[in-house]
């Protein structure tokens, strides 16, 4: 067994928001994860939801892909461009095949995926294990095979499956429904990162048999939500490892124009702790409006290297207590410099 690698406080770490907790990297081995060939390290990319909510279009998604390249974020490892809710409009009455909202995506999802791939990036899509998505678009319940086949035909690389219009606390049913989509995706023969979005810690114990990552809490829209997710994930390190990751939700930037945002110090704290927790690093911000502070945060190669370490060990809390009940240390951090 390797000894734990302890991260202690210091001037540089304090600037990265690690003063609230002391973390150690747990090196214990984990059982073999779902073998679909992807997700050996936590996913890095961008997601549309925190920026656009339901006002999402093909043009906006293309802008995220372009910005991932032009900002240099792609060069430091960010590769997924993930379309969240509100892309689906209906189902074919005969075949059950899901149909895009052609007003927002006039070229179709396949054309959008091709655009993303042409920039050396990967394309992700969203669905729900219930009969509807969270925004009442068509869900995948009963249509898992058709949807998986559509994703494969569109050359999708990442699938997020939410839990709206389903009983979120019925563990047995939830696991069965996620297993159904897992099998449908695997049956296509196309490797697709499978992200479970069930909002509960009970997924941690079985998540690696179902997908590549699993949401352990509700959405992170503000600092209080981030502290809740940190606290929940502090107890789940033993369940994470190569190909299988606890997911405390997306990264929230500091741009007040985005639908979800935090202070500059809070967003940097979240990024630093997420990196040590071996969490997926999915930027929830409009990259076309990314300020200099957030770009500097998300571009930090040393912090990303901690997150992407090949050992696949999630950091654990070895001192401190419940962050949800603690003071707002990040709010008292040095102020962010004015963006140039």
Which two tokens mark 5?
A: 């690698």
Residue 332 burial (C-beta neighbours within 10 Å; 0-12, 13-18, 19+): exposed
Which two tokens mark 124?
A: 């992700």
Our CA angle for 105, 111, 112, nearest 5°, is 65
pLDDT value, residue 117: 99
Q: Of the residues 84, 157, 162, 249, which is catalytic?
A: 162
Gap between the Cα atoms of 332 and 25, Å rounded:
27
Q: Of the residues 84, 85, 157, 219, which is catalytic?
A: 219
pLDDT digits (tens, 9 = 90+) for 237-291: 999 999 999 999 999 999 999 999 999 999 999 999 999 999 999 999 999 999 9
Residue 179 burial (C-beta neighbours within 10 Å; 0-12, 13-18, 19+): middle
Select from 275, 221, 220, 214 the least CA-distant residue to 244: 214
pTM of the entire structure? 0.88
The bridge status of strand 281-284 relative to strand 251-252 is: parallel
Q: What is the pLDDT along the chain (340 residues), one digit of tens a residue?
A: 333 333 333 334 434 443 333 233 333 333 334 679 999 999 999 999 999 999 999 999 999 999 999 999 999 999 999 999 999 999 999 999 999 999 999 999 999 999 999 999 999 999 999 999 999 999 999 999 999 999 999 999 999 999 999 998 899 999 999 999 999 999 999 999 999 999 999 999 999 999 999 999 999 999 999 999 999 999 999 999 999 999 999 999 999 999 999 999 999 999 999 999 999 999 999 999 999 999 999 999 999 999 999 999 999 998 888 886 655 554 444 444 433 3
pLDDT digits (tens, 9 = 90+) for 36-82: 999 999 999 999 999 999 999 999 999 999 999 999 999 999 999 99
Q: Verify whether residue 162 is a known catalytic residue.
A: yes
């Amino acid at each position: 067994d390797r000894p734990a690698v302890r991260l202690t406080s210091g001037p540089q770490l304090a600037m990265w928001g690690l003063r609230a907790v002391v973390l150690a990297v747990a090196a214990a081995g984990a059982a073999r994860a779902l073998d679909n060939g992807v997700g050996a390290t936590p996913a890095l990319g961008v997601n549309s939801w925190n920026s656009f909510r339901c006002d999402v279009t093909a043009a906006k998604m293309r802008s995220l892909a372009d910005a991932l390249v032009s900002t240099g974020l792609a060069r430091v490892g960010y590769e997924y461009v993930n379309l969240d809710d509100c892309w689906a409009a209906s189902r074919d009455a005969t075949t059950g095949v899901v149909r895009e909202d052609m007003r927002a995506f006039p070229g179709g999802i396949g054309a959008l995926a091709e655009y993303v791939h042409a920039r050396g990036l990967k394309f992700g899509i969203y669905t729900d294990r219930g009969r509807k998505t969270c925004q009442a678009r068509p869900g995948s319940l009963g249509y898992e095979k058709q949807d998986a086949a559509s994703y494969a035909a569109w050359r999708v690389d990442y699938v997020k499956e939410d839990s709206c219009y389903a009983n979120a606390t019925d563990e047995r049913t939830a696991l069965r429904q996620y297993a159904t989509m897992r099998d449908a995706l695997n049956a296509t023969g196309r490797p697709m990162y499978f992200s479970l979005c069930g909002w509960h810690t009970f997924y941690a114990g079985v998540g690696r048999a179902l997908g590549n990552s699993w949401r352990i809490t509700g959405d992170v829209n503000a600092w209080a939500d981030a502290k809740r997710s940190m606290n929940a994930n502090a107890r789940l390190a033993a369940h994470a490892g190569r190909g299988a990751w606890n997911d405390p939700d997306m990264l929230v930037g500091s741009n007040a124009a985005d639908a979800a945002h935090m202070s500059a110090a809070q967003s940097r704290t979240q990024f630093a702790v997420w990196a040590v927790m071996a969490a997926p690093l999915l930027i929830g911000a409009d990259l076309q409006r990314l300020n200099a502070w957030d770009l500097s945060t998300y571009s930090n190669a040393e912090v990303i290297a901690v997150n992407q370490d090949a050992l696949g060990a999630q950091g654990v809390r070895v001192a401190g207590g419940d962050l949800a009940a603690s003071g707002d240390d990040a709010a008292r951090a040095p102020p962010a410099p004015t963006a140039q």
